[in-house]
Structures are given as structure tokens and as C-alpha cells.
């Protein structure tokens, strides 16, 4: 029987991963340690409340007293999704990013090493590689060159993970994925923000010239890749995950507006993100060649499904687009020297 500790499992990708695992391995048991920050949402786990295979524990990965007990009965693997994950928030205030992403990862590594955990997956990001020009793509050997405090905190965590493998022989693996999209993503990230703004006939704030490129992967393809690494990945290795689906932000905005029957006049060019990475692109050849993983969901289909999900879940959207969410947008646009009604 597969026994996992997932951290950050009330967030976007972590909650999809838990569902993926329980569907694919009906005998599995998953403990889910999540602090429930603004991004953690138990509604993402609806339907699992009474499922005995899933145990939710509210707790902080920085806190050894919270993180140690779920390891006590022995687990087959720990998968660390817990993080502060939004670049714009790290520009506004980076303290929590260092605390959770760096100190929290260190705390987990130390606990897992002492408890002799046999497999540890660090869910990292392609942002650690920095920005690309035209043509090439990030491979696992691309040097780390993070540009935002978020990316720097994730790169720091990756270096700690590497050091635990090299120094202690701790069986850790790092995955670095490109931009995820799909249901349940917090509407501060590009795609869910643009979908929910378009649904409400509110402006879509496109940063700079809108020609920044991201490489999009559906969250379920990411989960399948993590599962492949969990089963067959080699300790000490890095695996890049991506679906070869690059689009400029402006094109993503136009596709969302078209799908929702809204006019392109809703596009609002706004102040650029400081330190904005121009392009990300992943070369997933290692995942494909060594682990036999392939992405399955085409962007057109995944985007349509995602839009349908946001349309069908107005309560989920209303809950998350309230309270702290509104304050954050006021602060962010104030910080960038302008006010905007397009939260
Ligand atoms: P998210 O912000 O939706 O979820 C993060 C989760 O972590 C939340 O449930 C939150 O409550 C929890 N958390 C935060 N601080 C915590 C702490 N100190 N202790 C315990 N739990 C805490 O993030 P996401 O988009 O689901 O990303 C998950 C992971 O995947 C992150 O590590 C992120 O860096 C990585 N990643 C994300 C993407 C993407 O496109 N979203 C791409 C590649 C990698
Ligand atoms: O590449 C993986 C990373 O993808 C993850 O590690 C991060 O956790 C995740 O947030 C994401 O980072 P990005 O900064 O690429 O995602 P975001 O959705 O914030 O922005 C995507 C692009 O859209 C980027 O070029 C900035 C732009 N953008 C974003 C927002 C929120 C806009 O033009 N307007 C917006 O309002």
C-alpha cells in the first residue's frame, strides 16, 4: 500500500495531485499537511472529507512539531508542494517566500533525513532558470539564474535539496515544471484571473507589451509526470516537465475572450512586472526518454475545459475573490504607481 505525505495539498497543484493519486492507486493513503494560507482552500478537496484514504492536517512546514507526526508511522515518499507561489506577491513582499520556500524546505529535509524517508520529491519550477531568448529551451543542465524573489527562493530550496543528496545521500529528486493551468487555480495567476475578469466583463490587465511567452501545461499532465518521477525517477536527479505549448500572453488573453464571447476592447495594457522574464520554454526530452511520460492535453482542449469549470463554479470563484484578495490588488497596483479597477 502506497503511503504518502503531501505538503501544500490544499493548493492548486497539490489538490489535483492528491485526487490523481487516489484515482490511480485506490489503495493509497495520503496525509496532507497544509498551513491554509490565502492560497490553501479546503474547497479544492471537496468530496474527500469523508474519504478515509485522505487525512488533512493543518500545519506549517516550518514547524517541526507539525511536520514530524505525519512521518511517524512511516511513509513511502514525501512530495513537497507547499510554497508561496505568486511572483507578483514576492515583488511586493518577499519575507514569507524565504520563510516557507527556503526555511520550510530545509525543515522538511532535515526531518525526512532523520526519519530516513526513502523518497523525497521537491516540486520546483522552470523559473529558477531565469529568462530565455528565442529558439532554445531549458534543459536540466541550464544554469540557475532566478530573477524574482519567488524564483530565487525556489532556486535556494533546490540547492538545499541538492546538498542533502550530495552530502547525506538523502534520496531527493527535483522536478521543474513550466506554467500550469486548469480548474481550481487561484485567480491571481494569468489564466484564471483573465477568465474570471472576462466572465465579469472586467478589464484583462496585460503587463507590458503582452509578448512575454509562457509554456503552458495542464495540471493533470503535471500530476502524471510527478507520478512517473515518484515511481521511476532516480535519486539526485532533476527532471524538467513541460508540454511544448508556448504562447504569448496576448494570445492567451484573446483566446479566453473569444471563448467567452467577449470583446477584445477588454484588454488593458498596464505597467509591466519589474524584472519580468521574457520567455520560458521547457525541453522535456529527459522525462519523455527516460521515464516514458508524455503530456496528453492539448492547450485548446484544456483551456476550454478550464473555462467551463470556472463558469460552473461561481461560488468557488466568489469565495476566493474576496477579503485579502481585494486588498492585495489595491496594494499591488499602488506599488506599481497606478490604480486600476480590474482586480
Ligand atoms: P498554490 O499557491 O496554489 O498552493 C500552495 C499551497 O501551499 C497552499 O495550499 C498553501 O496553503 C500551502 N502553503 C503555503 N505555505 C505553507 C507552509 N508554510 N506550510 C504548509 N503549507 C503551506 O501553489 P501551486 O500553484 O499549487 O504550486 C504548488 C507548487 O508547485 C509550488 O511549490 C510551486 O512553486 C510549484 N510550481 C507551480 C507552478 C504553477 O504554474 N502554478 C509551476 C511549477 C511549479
Ligand atoms: O513557470 C512556472 C511558474 O509559473 C510557477 O513557478 C509559478 O508559481 C506560477 O505563478 C507561474 O509564474 P508566472 O509568473 O509565469 O505566472 P503568472 O500567471 O503570474 O504570469 C504569467 C504571465 O502573464 C507572465 O508573463 C506575467 C503575465 N501577467 C500575469 C498577470 C497575473 C499579465 O500580463 N497580467 C497579469 O495580471
- Residue 154's contacts (CB-CB under 8 Å, 6 or more residues apart) are 83, 101, 124, 125, 127, 128, 146
| CA–CA dist 336, 65 (Å, integer) | 39
Q: Is 190 in the pocket of ligand 1 (CB under 6 A)?
A: no
Q: Which three cell numbers stand for residue 19?
A: 485526487
Q: What is the C-alpha R_g of the chain?
A: 19
pLDDT averaged over the chain?
96
Segment 115-130 shows an average pLDDT of 98
Q: How far is the CA of 264 from the centre of ligand 1 (A)?
A: 32
Residue 166 belongs to a domain: yes
Segment 34-38 shows an average pLDDT of 97
State residue 286's pLDDT score: 98
Q: How far is the CA of 91 from the centre of ligand 1 (A)?
A: 17
Residue 319 belongs to a domain: no
Higher-confidence residue: 259 or 330?
A: 259
Residue 112 belongs to a domain: yes
CA-wise closest residue to 151 among 174, 169, 124, 133: 124
CATH code assigned at 49: 3.40.50.720
Q: Is 106 in the pocket of ligand 1 (CB under 6 A)?
A: no
Q: How far is the CA of 85 from the centre of ligand 1 (A)?
A: 5
The answer to whether residue 62 scores a pLDDT higher than 70 is: yes
State residue 322's pLDDT score: 81
Q: Is 123 in the pocket of ligand 1 (CB under 6 A)?
A: yes
Q: Which three cell numbers stand for residue 278?
A: 521574457
Residue to probe by mutation, ligand 1, list 8, 60, 104, 149, most atoms within 8 Å of CB: 8
State residue 343's pLDDT score: 46
pLDDT, one tens digit per residue, over 138-189 is 999 999 999 999 999 999 999 999 999 999 999 999 999 999 999 999 999 9
Evaluate whether 342 touches 198 at the Cβ level (below 8 Å): no
State residue 271's pLDDT score: 96
Helix (H) or strand (E) holding 179: strand 179-181
CA-wise closest residue to 82 among 27, 31, 119: 31
DSSP for residue 11: S
Q: Is 34 in the pocket of ligand 1 (CB under 6 A)?
A: yes
State residue 283's pLDDT score: 98
Q: How many other CB atoms sit within 10 Å of the CB of residue 274?
A: 13
Express the helix, strand and coil content of the chain in percent, nearest 5 each.
45, 15, 40
For atom 10 of ligand 2, the residue with the nearest CA is 86
Domain total in the chain: 1
| CA–CA dist 42, 143 (Å, integer) | 37
Evaluate whether 119 touches 76 at the Cβ level (below 8 Å): yes
Phi-psi region of 119 (alpha: psi -120 to 50; beta: other; left: phi over 0): beta
| CA–CA dist 206, 211 (Å, integer) | 9
Q: How far is the CA of 189 from the centre of ligand 2 (A)?
A: 6
Residue 15 belongs to a domain: yes
Residue 239 belongs to a domain: yes
Residue to probe by mutation, ligand 2, list 80, 87, 153, most atoms within 8 Å of CB: 87
Angle between helices 299-312 and 249-259 (to 10 degrees): 50
pLDDT, one tens digit per residue, over 191-246 is 999 999 999 999 999 999 999 999 999 999 999 999 999 999 999 999 999 999 99
Q: Is 184 in the pocket of ligand 1 (CB under 6 A)?
A: no
Q: Is 87 in the pocket of ligand 2 (CB under 6 A)?
A: yes
State residue 331's pLDDT score: 78
**Side-chain-facing half-sphere of 162: CA atoms under 13 Å:** 12
**Side-chain-facing half-sphere of 311: CA atoms under 13 Å:** 12
The answer to whether residue 339 scores a pLDDT higher than 60 is: no
Helix (H) or strand (E) holding 206: strand 204-207
Q: Work out the pLDDT band at 336, boundaries 50, 70, 90.
A: confident
Q: Is 207 in the pocket of ligand 2 (CB under 6 A)?
A: yes
Segment 321-343 shows an average pLDDT of 69
State residue 332's pLDDT score: 77
DSSP for residue 233: P
State residue 338's pLDDT score: 57
Q: How many other CB atoms sit within 10 Å of the CB of residue 190?
A: 22
- Residue 98's contacts (CB-CB under 8 Å, 6 or more residues apart) are 149, 153, 156
pLDDT, one tens digit per residue, over 268-317 is 999 999 999 999 999 999 999 999 999 999 999 999 999 999 999 999 99
State residue 337's pLDDT score: 66
State residue 90's pLDDT score: 98
- What are phi and psi for residue 181, nearest 5 degrees? -145, 165
Q: Which three cell numbers stand for residue 185?
A: 487555480
Residue 59 belongs to a domain: yes
CA-wise closest residue to 28 among 51, 46, 61, 10: 51
Window from 104-108, 170-174, 280-284, 336-340 with minimum mean pLDDT: 336-340
Residue 205 belongs to a domain: no
Evaluate whether 203 touches 30 at the Cβ level (below 8 Å): no
Residue 36 belongs to a domain: yes
Evaluate whether 148 touches 259 at the Cβ level (below 8 Å): no
What is the domain range of residue 139? Answer: 3-185+216-247+280-297+325-342
Hey, which residues are catalytic here?
Answer: 126-127, 150
Amino acid at each position: 500500500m502506497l503511503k504518502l505525505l503531501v505538503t501544500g495539498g490544499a493548493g492548486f497543484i497539490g489538490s489535483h495531485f492528491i485526487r490523481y493519486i487516489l484515482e490511480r492507486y485506490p489503495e493509497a493513503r495520503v496525509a496532507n499537511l497544509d498551513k491554509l494560507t490565502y492560497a490553501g482552500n479546503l474547497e479544492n478537496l471537496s468530496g474527500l472529507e469523508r474519504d478515509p484514504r485522505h487525512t488533512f492536517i493543518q500545519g506549517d512546514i516550518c514547524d517541526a512539531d507539525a511536520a514530524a507526526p505525519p512521518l511517524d508511522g512511516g511513509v513511502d515518499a514525501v512530495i513537497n508542494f507547499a510554497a508561496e507561489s505568486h511572483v507578483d506577491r514576492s515583488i511586493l513582499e518577499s519575507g514569507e517566500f524565504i520563510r516557507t520556500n527556503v526555511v520550510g524546505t530545509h525543515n522538511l529535509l532535515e526531518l525526512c533525513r532523520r526519519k530516513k524517508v526513502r523518497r523525497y520529491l521537491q516540486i520546483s519550477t522552470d523559473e529558477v532558470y531565469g529568462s530565455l531568448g528565442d529558439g532554445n529551451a531549458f534543459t536540466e543542465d541550464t544554469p540557475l539564474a532566478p530573477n524574482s524573489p519567488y524564483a530565487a527562493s525556489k532556486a535556494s530550496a533546490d540547492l538545499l535539496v541538492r546538498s542533502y543528496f550530495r552530502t547525506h545521500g538523502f534520496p531527493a529528486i527535483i522536478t521543474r515544471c513550466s506554467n500550469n493551468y486548469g480548474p481550481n487555480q487561484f485567480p491571481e495567476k494569468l489564466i484564471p484571473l483573465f477568465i474570471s475578469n472576462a466572465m465579469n466583463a472586467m478589464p484583462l490587465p496585460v503587463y507590458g507589451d503582452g509578448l512575454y511567452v509562457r509554456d503552458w501545461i495542464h495540471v493533470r499532465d503535471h500530476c502524471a509526470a510527478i507520478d512517473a518521477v515518484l515511481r521511476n525517477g532516480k535519486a539526485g536527479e532533476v527532471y524538467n516537465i513541460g508540454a511544448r505549448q508556448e504562447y504569448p500572453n496576448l494570445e492567451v488573453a484573446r483566446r479566453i475572450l473569444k471563448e467567452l464571447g467577449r470583446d477584445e476592447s477588454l484588454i488593458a495594457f498596464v505597467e509591466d512586472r519589474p524584472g519580468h522574464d521574457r520567455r520560458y520554454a521547457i525541453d522535456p526530452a529527459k522525462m519523455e526518454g527516460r521515464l516514458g511520460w508524455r503530456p496528453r492535453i492539448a492547450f485548446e482542449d484544456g483551456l476550454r475545459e478550464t473555462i467551463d469549470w470556472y463558469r460552473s463554479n461561481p461560488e468557488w470563484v466568489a469565495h476566493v475573490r474576496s477579503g485579502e484578495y481585494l486588498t492585495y490588488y489595491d496594494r499591488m497596483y499602488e506599488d506599481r504607481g497606478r490604480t486600476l479597477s480590474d482586480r
